[in-house]
A = this chain, B = another copy of it.
């Protein structure tokens, strides 16, 4: 489970009572430093999910994505797309014209994660009533 290893990055290290190596020695941390967690964050973040799913239907321009992922700010959309592009999930193609014309589409890798994301979100939507039922039982608003 490499994923767990990335916790290392999430741990405040200076202010901690035990040192990092001590924690590793104690078996409290896995030793492989691994960015799985970042990838998970990128693809399961609010706008990450929306971008990946919106792009499943085909290529979209920046402004088209903005409209599809209703409510996203330019800043967040740009940031999200940059991350997804760095991770190799999204392909960015800029036609070198004025005014700018930039297209975004899923790569093969992006298509694959978006399959996973779609499966998870589909499961959630399909089973949401069971969750809501549980919440009602427990008196959660």
On A, residues with C-beta under 8 Å from B are 1-4, 7-8, 10-11, 23, 27-30, 34-37, 39-40, 43-44, 46, 49-50, 53, 67, 69-71, 85-88, 109, 112-113, 116-117, 119-121, 123-125, 127-128, 130-135, 138, 140
The secondary structure that dominates the A interface is helix
With the chains together, A36 CA to B129 CA distance in Å? Answer: 10
Supply 23 A–B pairs (Cβ within 8 Å), ascending by A.
Answer: A2-B125, A2-B128, A3-B121, A3-B124, A4-B50, A7-B71, A8-B71, A10-B46, A10-B71, A28-B70, A34-B128, A35-B131, A43-B120, A86-B138, A88-B134, A109-B127, A109-B130, A109-B134, A112-B123, A112-B127, A116-B120, A116-B123, A119-B120
